[in-house]
Structure 1
């Protein structure tokens, strides 16, 4: 059974481990992640300990199986991680629906997320849920010592919106 809830402070390491495993799977197409593993592990641990109040958890049969965060509590999903062992079981869809509901209840009209351009599984997941790619950028990653293409996806949450700001004059 799928259940969505807010994170608890005492589960930061469990969430960090889910994030790290998911990050490893998502970064596979970029390569060079073995050298970053210790840094990534520390980053996930620090984030989940520091920002647990911004994290929403999806459980499967009572066990945490994924999480999402809106670090600034705005329309931007800063993190979205489903344990690789639990993909394609509806967890991501349920979690995303809850995050979208939370954003809409805040009075925000769109939602956005970004990922590296090689993360085709994530891009296709978000596109299947009504998101569209709105930008592409290439940023140099000093840790990987190479350029990494990144895409930004967004979705209007209100009928008739196009997901952009401002009027269409």
Structure 2
């Protein structure tokens, strides 16, 4: 059974490790990650140490299995990482539902996120949960020395108010 809660400051390094393992798996279709691993690891550590209060974790049997973050505590999910050994067990779905519920309770009508377009597992996961791709961009990534496609996805959390016209 999944337990979802706010991260604790002392978990920052554990969360960074989960993030980097998930990131490595997600990056396989994009490029060789070896040259970027040290920078990515440092970025995850800096983020989890300084922004832990914006992170929700999902546990399985008392073990942290993944996390999601909303850096500005707005409608944007900026990070969503499930440890590869826990993927496919419903923990990501439980975490996403909880994050969406929190966003809805804070009065936002939609939720949005970004991922690289070649991360088919992530795109498929979010589409399965009602998200749609709303934009695609291609930008040059100097670390990869190549263009990378990024998609923006969103999901309506609250049905828009009626138009005032009768529906037949």
2:42 aligned residue: 42
1:110 aligned residue: 110
Distance in 1, Cα, partners of 2:106 & 2:4: 18
1:91 aligned residue: 91
1:33-89 deviations in whole A, cap 9, x for unaligned? 110000000000000000000000000000100000000111110000000000110
Distance in 1, Cα, partners of 2:138 & 2:21: 25
The 3-state SS of whatever aligns with 1:158 is coil
5+ residue gaps, structure 1: 162-166
2:53 aligned residue: 53
TM-score normalised by length of structure 1: 0.94
Distance in 1, Cα, partners of 2:57 & 2:74: 17
5+ residue gaps, structure 2: 164-168
1:66 aligned residue: 66
> Aligned-pair distance for 1:32?
2.2
2:142 aligned residue: 142
Counterparts in 2 of 1:4-19, with a 5 A limit?
A: 4-19=4-19
Moved over 6 A (4+): none
Distance in 2, Cα, partners of 1:2 & 1:88: 13
Computed over aligned residues only, the root mean square deviation of the Cα atoms, in angstroms, reads 1.1
Distance in 1, Cα, partners of 2:125 & 2:157: 17
For the pair shown, the structure with the greater C-alpha radius of gyration is: 2
Distance in 2, Cα, partners of 1:124 & 1:152: 13
2:130 aligned residue: 130
TM-score normalised by length of structure 2: 0.94
